[in-house]
DNA sequence: ATTCTATATCGGAATTGATCTATATAGAGA
DNA sequence: TCTCTATATAGATCAATTCCGATATAGAAT
């Protein structure tokens, strides 16, 4: 046990970018930050790329790129419904990060 | 309260680099990773730049630069004794990060 | 005073990151 | 089938990061 900090580097790299940190934050409470969706529930399924694009003010390709980085770090998961791709925060991943920092803080 | 993830960006940027994450990890248990020091206690005062330089295999200017980044992110503190500068991990900062991730994980 | 030692600063090279525009693809609906 | 919509990919550009060698500085020791 007692995972070392270097294990977190991939996740931290993903969240070290302000846009991605902001997106991640929004995804933790979608109804507070995004309008309702026609196909796909904000909480159940996640938020579609288009909404995230609008909210960030970035272009769609840039947002797609950010989302892939978050996903390959295991911080979000994606689900495709019809034409849309919905991204959902993975709270378990955040909790694991919290654990590692917690035990780092109280390590001998 | 409930600090948002973007607040962590400066800290995360500092720790998103493998060398800095590794150094931070070593600093959490100096006696396990560094030889005893003549002037300055490993635990009490921290670890001198020279030891960190040797252990990383990087050059001294590069390590100095990494340490300044960690310090300005509030993750380590420094103390100068004679010719040496000793760096010590700030566990409180790590704990605060753990808190933010913890409450992010259980947010809705 | 001079030299030695530890760390800091400077300037530059190579790499990686963030972002855009343009275009492709895939599925839905008419 | 044709078109429309949402997302993906490609390619380019500009900025930021990482790292090094050379040199400066500051304090100790001789």
Q: Is pLDDT at B22 greater than 80 in this prediction?
A: yes
Question: What is the Cα–Cα distance from A77 to B108, expressed in whole angstroms?
Answer: 17
Average pLDDT, chain A: 95
Distance from the Cα of residue A37 to its chain's centroid = 19
Residue with tokens 């998961």: A77
Average pLDDT, chain B: 95
Name the phi and psi angles at A88, rounded to 5: -135, 135
Closest residue in chain B to residue A4, using alpha carbons only: B25
Chosen for mutation from B12, B18, B31 (greatest number of chain A CBs closer than 10 Å) is B12
Q: A50 and B34 in contact (C-beta within 8 Å)?
A: no
Q: What average pLDDT does range B72-78 have in this prediction?
A: 97
Give the residues across from A85 on adjacent strands: A80
Q: What average pLDDT does range A53-66 have in this prediction?
A: 97
Determine the pLDDT at residue A42.
Answer: 82
Determine the pLDDT at residue B40.
Answer: 74
Footprint of strand D on the protein (CB under 7 A): A 48-50, 53, 60-61, 64-65, 67-68, 78, 83-86; B 13, 16-17, 19, 57-59, 61-62, 65-66, 69, 82-83
Compare CB distances from A4 to B25, B98, B105 and report the shortest one's residue.
B25
Determine the pLDDT at residue A40.
Answer: 73
Determine the pLDDT at residue A60.
Answer: 97
Distance in angstroms: CA B30, C1' C26: 55
Determine the pLDDT at residue A2.
Answer: 82
Torsion of CA A17, A23, A25, A31, to 10 degrees: 170
Give the pLDDT band of residue A101 (cuts 50, 70, 90).
very high
Q: What average pLDDT does range A12-35 have in this prediction?
A: 97
Determine the pLDDT at residue A55.
Answer: 96
Domains parsed from chain B with CATH numbers:
5-105 (1.10.10.10)
Per-residue pLDDT tens digits for A75-88:
999 999 988 999 99
Give the pLDDT band of residue B39 (cuts 50, 70, 90).
confident
The protein residue nearest nucleotide D20, judged by CA to C1', is B59
Residue B82, both tokens: 């004679």
Determine the pLDDT at residue A50.
Answer: 96
ipTM score here? 0.90
Question: What is the Cα–Cα distance from A5 to A2, expressed in whole angstroms?
Answer: 9
Closest residue in chain B to residue A21, using alpha carbons only: B6
């Amino acid at each position: 046990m007692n995972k070392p900090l270097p294990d977190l580097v991939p996740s931290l790299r993903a969240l070290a970018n302000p846009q991605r940190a902001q997106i991640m934050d929004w995804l933790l409470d979608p109804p507070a930050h995004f309008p309702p969706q026609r196909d796909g529930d904000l909480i159940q399924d996640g938020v579609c790329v288009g909404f995230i694009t609008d909210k960030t003010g970035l272009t769609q390709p840039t947002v797609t790129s950010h989302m892939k980085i978050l996903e390959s770090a295991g911080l979000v998961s994606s689900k495709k419904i019809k034409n849309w791709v919905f991204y959902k925060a993975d709270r378990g991943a955040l909790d694991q990060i919290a654990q590692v920092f917690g035990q780092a803080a109280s390590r001998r």
